A = this chain, B = another copy of it.
């Protein structure tokens, strides 16, 4: 920074580096996070991307001047670094020269210095540009960033290639319902609900692919779990024996995400008091039918023939996994094929069941995945069974027409993962600028 010879030379020091500069004069730049006036001395807390730093104002005249600064004033503060055990980071700035870089035009409506923001969620979302500056709020998105980086790193190590596939698609074929329509140069187009068809297609090219990007669901439900746009971490791999090979990769992806949070976001772990899960080398696994049996035995419910797990059953199973296996993660495999998408591969020995899985984490489905059909004829049959012809699936079916290995994959919703990790009750807390039935801004 400031390295161009013709421009003013100011070396900026981050507050997190203060302790390395004890005895020297440095310049901090950041936001006025908080001000505390005592009778003899005032403290300015300056916030920058590295954390919070303390500036000591002893001069009464200067203290009177700084008293007029609104929170969130952007400052450059030069001064002498003094070791101080009670200051954040073990050092503070004395004898400051304070320059206002940019002043707020009005008093911020949130008190960012408080340990938590007390406003209601809708208010916090309306004020997101400000609320996200709160150390605990921004920490959530450090966890998100570290998670995505860890997902990519884990899959890179396993020979995956990152892809970028279109979000505007020509037909609403994947599920039909809950799709956003747009005007595409006068003809209809749709926003992709997932990269499913494209990631499968790309197995024919790279064998192992992943994508981290937005997906779109026109969710008519206003719940703490539904968004109309979220970030999906998707992977797909070929030359599998069955869904267990996909589960092994999903396990490594989650382990990579946890490792990455640990190494990249230690400050966020501390700010949020995060308890990260232990990811066992082999995540425990239970078959769907066995799971129903166990739950039924315990609760007295008659669950035989149920096609899916209810939320209460997922919670029961998560508790069971902690009790039986000491694991906060549990695979459930072999879901009935009726509730799975048309491209799902059946269990060869029990065709009413599927080579599919969910990964439960702390009582909620975190990942869904499975083996896909790979033979062209199987797709034609699956579509016929749904009463559909192959025409709308032309591009997708090409991949299977020309030789596709057995393959499968999985998807993980980033915001949901971060919500589970941080204990957020509403997925909007783990989305920078959420979109839902009622919310389109900021």
Q: Which A residues fall within an 8 A CB radius of B?
A: 1-4, 7-8, 10, 12, 29, 31-32, 48-49, 70, 72-74, 101-106, 108, 127-130, 132-133, 138, 141-142, 144-145, 148-149, 152, 156, 159, 161-171, 180-185, 187, 189, 191, 198, 201-202, 204-208, 213-214, 216, 218, 220, 228-229, 231, 239-242, 244-245, 248, 374-377, 394-396, 398-399, 401-406, 414, 432-435, 437, 440-442
Q: A347 CB to closest chain B CB, in angstroms? A: 13
Question: Which of B228, B401, B437 sits near A168, CB closer than 8 Å?
Answer: B228
Bound CA–CA A219/B342 (angstroms): 35
Contact residues in B for A159 (Cβ distance below 8 Å): 49
Bound CA–CA A70/B171 (angstroms): 31
Name the CB-closest residue of B to A134. B205
A–B Cβ pairs within 8 angstroms, 24 of them: A1-B240, A10-B241, A12-B239, A70-B403, A102-B403, A103-B403, A104-B401, A108-B402, A127-B398, A129-B204, A129-B396, A129-B398, A145-B162, A163-B432, A166-B432, A167-B214, A167-B216, A167-B229, A168-B440, A171-B441, A184-B440, A213-B213, A214-B214, A398-B442
Q: A173 CB to closest chain B CB, in angstroms? A: 11
Question: Which of B149, B184, B244, B405 sits near A7, CB closer than 8 Å?
Answer: B244
Question: Which of B32, B181, B207 sits near A183, CB closer than 8 Å?
Answer: B181
Question: Are A180 and B183 in contact (CB-based, < 8 A)?
Answer: yes
Name the CB-closest residue of B to A401. B105
Q: A438 CB to closest chain B CB, in angstroms? A: 8
Question: Are B138 and A149 in contact (CB-based, < 8 A)?
Answer: no
Number of copies: 2
Given contacts A1-B241, A3-B244, A213-B213, 5 further A-B contacts (CB under 8 A): A32-B403, A168-B191, A168-B216, A181-B183, A394-B441
Bound CA–CA A200/B242 (angstroms): 45
User: A129-B395, A163-B432, A184-B180 are contacts. A2–B402 as well, Cβ < 8 Å?
Assistant: no
Name the CB-closest residue of B to A148. B162
Q: A140 CB to closest chain B CB, in angstroms? A: 11
Bound CA–CA A12/B145 (angstroms): 34
Bound CA–CA A164/B141 (angstroms): 9
Question: Are B207 and A49 in contact (CB-based, < 8 A)?
Answer: yes
Contact residues in B for A398 (Cβ distance below 8 Å): 127, 129-130, 442
Bound CA–CA A129/B12 (angstroms): 51
Question: Are A182 and B183 in contact (CB-based, < 8 A)?
Answer: yes
Name the CB-closest residue of B to A76. B239
Which of A105, A130, A164 is the most central at the interface, judged by chain B CB atoms within 10 Å of its CB? A164
Question: Are B432 and A165 in contact (CB-based, < 8 A)?
Answer: yes
Sorted nearest first, the 3 A-B pairs with minimum C-beta distance are: A395-B442, A170-B440, A182-B182
